[in-house]
Structure 1
Amino acid sequence: MGAARAFGSRAARNGRDGRGFGKSLAVAASAPYLARMIFSFDAFVTDALFDRAGRAAFALGDGTVRLRTDEGFVTVEAHGGPQMGGLGGGAVLAAAVHPSGLGVVTGGDDGRVVWSRIDQGEVIATVIAELKGKWIEHVATSAASGLIAFTAGKEVHVRDAADPAFARVFAHEKTVSGLAFEPKGRRLASATYGGAQLWYARIADQKPTLLKWAGSHIAAAFSPDGKFLISSMQENQLHGWRLSDGKDMRMGGYPAKIKSLAFFDKGNLLATAGASGAVIWPFAGANGPMGKEAAEIGFSRDSMVVRVAGIDAQPVCLAGQDNGKIWAAHMRNGRIETLKAEKGAPISALSTSADGKFFAWGDENGEAGVLEIPDLSGPRQFAG
């Protein structure tokens, strides 16, 4: 991993402004860490998450959910397995932490939405919804409103974790390729061809607010203050809207699709994949990144960043590469540390615990783990 460089050679534009990526960070060598738990699951890791209690969960391409325990992990056959009345061969396509904070909600190619958790020592799996013949490719949840949303082709479905009878369906003209709840959990954004749509998640009959931008939008994320909506596009770029007035933000110039984005540092910064380093956009202030420079950090000539994560309360982001390596960077002091130095399959899942002390990762070959994040706020300590 080489030193960071400006992103100016691939210009990005916010609204009508085209600015280069200017900030540069130095790179430090790898270091040993105390906590280390590594797994080999022999299945594509769709997602790796921490629930509110800090328990790691891995959602896999073989239809199972693996929940970490002190001894290792337990297996929930959430999709396609005999434990849930299936015949095997299913796959988890999407996952999110349950609104209660306990366990995870997964969507599968069996048409099911399943809540997997360990409650008072008992492993439990509950089917929240089942749409036979459908693929549940995207799941979003809100702790603030207690709602669970998921996609099935051109439809978005909403359920209430506290009310099994509650159900809403929002129809779209095109396939829905991304979902996100606003921070308060009242509105839901869906990404589709031609832009994004905003829905009031509990209202049955409504016309959505349309946020138009030509092209195919494949992911969506709200800024933590709810002022901006960001989408990833099929055309190797981001697009954003300032929700107060609908102003567009064009954030292009990426060499690859942006498959992962994460806000961190109390919402002041946004990290994205899709380049040779992690691209960091500033979001502080009323205008967010419009008219400001961003930085590409951890630039590497022989690999691409494919997954990013961030610590909510700290200016620390993590990046997973297509060569299996993972590193973390502190955006104030410029310190970068390699967290996983071993090469392997591309990283397919990456997240941090709520307290910022641990991260969970998984790759396309089923290797996964939970590791400790070092304190990056001070200078590196060398043995002496």
Structure 2
Amino acid sequence: MSVSATDRTAKSRPGALEVAWEITVDDAPVALSARKDFVAVAGAEGLVRVLDGAMGAEMGALELAGGALSVQLSPAAQQLAVTGPSGCALWRRADGRVVVREQGAWSASAAWADEGRVAVASGRTAVVLDADGGELWRTEPAKSTVTDLAWLRRGRRLAVAAYGAVHGHERHTPAPVVTYPYIGSHLALAVSPTEKWICSGNQDASIHIWRTRDGSELTMSGYREKVARLAFDDTGRWLAADGAPDVTVWDFGGQGPAGTAPRSLRRHAAVTALAWRPGDAGHLATGGRDGTVALWYATSGRPDSPLTPARSLDGEGSAVAGLAWAGPHLLVAAYRDGRLRAYRVPSRTEL
């Protein structure tokens, strides 16, 4: 890893933000995670760097043979899980210990319940591990490969997405206790912070929604491309999604989005990343294949009225591989050419 800039200001241009730090890693980034004071970046070849969020200094590293698909820091940033085509690995902050688990099983994602438990996809099952890598329990096999995971009820229920359904499993219960069916391939899960809604982004260019209380369903269709990125803001009212040149933002207030139109955020020819700013201000960061990062007042305006970004940040051409907020005032962008750039963002009420 080489440091290319520290505590410098971006080139003067409209919408420029101060760059807190910038580094280059020796693997093309594919996933990014930020929690508390740490940032983790995973590369396509399986190299994972753990960085100090304030300065970008390397605090730890590990490698997952076979490459990486996702990286997730635990809620207090004391643990890290990295998953990939050949399995998963856990890293511990206290001493840098690495435990490799589930070797040979395709692992698309991981989700931390708390500092002591993480669920990882393992082929057609989901395996729940303790912080030492010991297996606590696993789900019975689904009909196809598990593609995404999410926790509900403060870590007491695990939602598991695979072709044809999202299954809910209670702790230590291999068979599902609830099933949310949808005939299609689920690519991403998003559970609202209120846990009122479960949403899946799908291969068939749709978003499917279930109300957890009664299992009632709703489908948002008409996207041009598969929906592979979904994220609720901290309030649980707003859902951002890709699947089109525009990012769509749906309003889940009241009875939900049925019969409504989304807000459209138009900047990128192809969306490659999105991340809500912590808090309730409705600020969203998005990234594109052209290397631009845009900052939005994403909940302003009216449905069906395209918004324009509050700021556009030029990433010098390389596609944005990931975006993550290291607290409310620092936005970290990873680019496919190996660069990581941390932008200082003004107060929560401003962009």
Normalising TM by the smaller chain, what interval? 0.7 to 0.9
Question: RMSD in angstroms over aligned alpha carbons?
Answer: 2.4
The answer to whether the 8 Å contact 1:333/1:377 transfers is no
2:28 to 38, 44, 56: 44
Within-5 A mapping of 1:294-333: 294-300=262-268, 303-313=269-279, 314-331=281-298
Match of 1:31 in 2: 15
The answer to whether the 8 Å contact 1:193/1:217 transfers is yes
Higher relative contact order structure (alpha carbons within 8 Å, sequence separation ≥ 6): 1
Q: Does 1:131 pair with 2:97?
A: no
The answer to whether the 8 Å contact 2:267/2:294 transfers is no
More deviation, 96-105/233-242: 96-105
- Partners of 2:310 and 2:75 in 1: CA distance: 33
- Partners of 1:204 and 1:183 in 2: CA distance: 15
1:268-302 CA distance string (max 9 Å, x none): 111112222221001122x22122221111345xx
From the superposition, tell whether residues 331 and 134 of structure 1 become closer, same or farther in structure 2 (CA, over 3 Å): closer
- Displacement after TM superposition at 1:368 (Å): 2.0
**Secondary structure at the counterpart of residue 92 of structure 1:** coil
1:363 to 332, 335, 338: 335
Corresponding pairs, count: 330
- Partners of 2:272 and 2:135 in 1: CA distance: 39
- Partners of 1:352 and 1:234 in 2: CA distance: 27
1:330-379 CA distance string (max 9 Å, x none): 135567333521342322211212x311112213332222222234735x
Within-5 A mapping of 1:256-295: 256-285=225-254, 287-295=255-263
1:233-276 CA distance string (max 9 Å, x none): 11111111111111111111111122211111511111112222
The answer to whether the 8 Å contact 1:176/1:190 transfers is yes
Match of 2:223 in 1: 254
**Secondary structure at the counterpart of residue 184 of structure 1:** helix
TM-score with structure 2 length normalisation? 0.85
Match of 2:73 in 1: 97
- Partners of 1:288 and 1:343 in 2: CA distance: 39
Match of 1:142 in 2: 113
- Partners of 1:162 and 1:329 in 2: CA distance: 40
**Secondary structure at the counterpart of residue 171 of structure 1:** coil
Q: Does 1:106 pair with 2:82?
A: yes
The answer to whether the 8 Å contact 1:151/1:157 transfers is yes
Question: What are structure 2's unaligned runs of at least 5 residues?
Answer: 1-12, 302-307
Q: Does 1:158 pair with 2:128?
A: yes
The answer to whether the 8 Å contact 2:139/2:174 transfers is no
Within-5 A mapping of 1:51-130: 51-52=35-36, 54-69=37-52, 70=55, 72-80=57-65, 90-117=66-93, 119=94, 124-127=96-99, 130=101
Aligned amino acid, residue 30 of structure 2: T
- Partners of 2:166 and 2:300 in 1: CA distance: 36
Within-5 A mapping of 1:164-203: 164=134, 166-182=136-152, 184-200=154-170, 202-203=171-172
